[in-house]
Amino acid sequence: MARNLSGKKALVTGAGGGIGQAIVESLKAHGVTVAGTDQSACPNSDVSIVGNLMDAAFCDGLAGNAREQLGGLDIVINNAGIIRRGPVTDATDDDYASSFTINVEAPFRICRAAIPLLAEAGGGAIVNIASCWGVHPGPNHPIYCMSKAAVASMTQCLGHDHAHQGVRINAVCPNEVDTSMLRSGFSARGKDPDTAIASLNASVPLGHIAEPQEIADVVLFLASDEARYMCGSLVEVNGGKAVY
């Protein structure tokens, strides 16, 4: 069980998505007050901050905004992300720009703003959501893999650079997770989501792809004092399944 989270204040990006909702609910269940941000209201959060992570100014001010509305800030979860699939020869400029803006630039800006605030408060935790695909690139997802590799590398760099300030920065690296984003990707490619996920389940040694809660549990661990000696770690959560 995650320790010493009661009374903490947390910011969660992508709080309206499948993994984001599970993270918010898990934090709240452990006594954390949560500011959730997404492009529409996040009713499961204590404070909902609506905005677009494509907006640099919004990202720059997000940690401070959350701290002001929550009355403090101890935890930041950079969960929001998008996937653009297909070989690089099919990729558009927008695929590249939107992926790197949301997956890389937004957490970069949020970390840059949040680290001084957390340090000033005596320390805190940042958990980024990278991906197994950013650590072990798979086929036909070059932009996604590149962007998540950048998140992984950023996490390792910042984890080292800011540990002395009491700011622990780590990342969770999931493989496939049963979310609406994954299902919509199958639908867009003309596949039945239930059939496709059943096929994926059969490829996982533990017997199923991750449920959002199984990712949220690891996020909660990294945000808590249970992970107090972890800095710059990339924690793969994959059910035993390699990317290939």
Catalytic residue list: 144
| φ, ψ (nearest 5 deg) of residue 232 | 70, 20
| φ, ψ (nearest 5 deg) of residue 160 | -75, -45
Those residues with Cβ within 8 angstroms of residue 198's Cβ, 6 or more apart along the chain or in another chain:
none
For residues 73 and 225, what is the distance between their CA atoms, to the nearest angstrom?
16
How would you class 14 by CB atoms within 10 Å of its CB: exposed for 0-12, middle for 13-18, buried for 19 or more?
buried
| φ, ψ (nearest 5 deg) of residue 62 | -65, -45
* In contact, 4 and 17? CB cutoff 8 Å: no
Q: What number of other Cβ atoms are within 10 A of residue 140's Cβ?
A: 11
- What is the number of alpha carbons within 13 Å of residue 165 lying toward its C-beta? 19
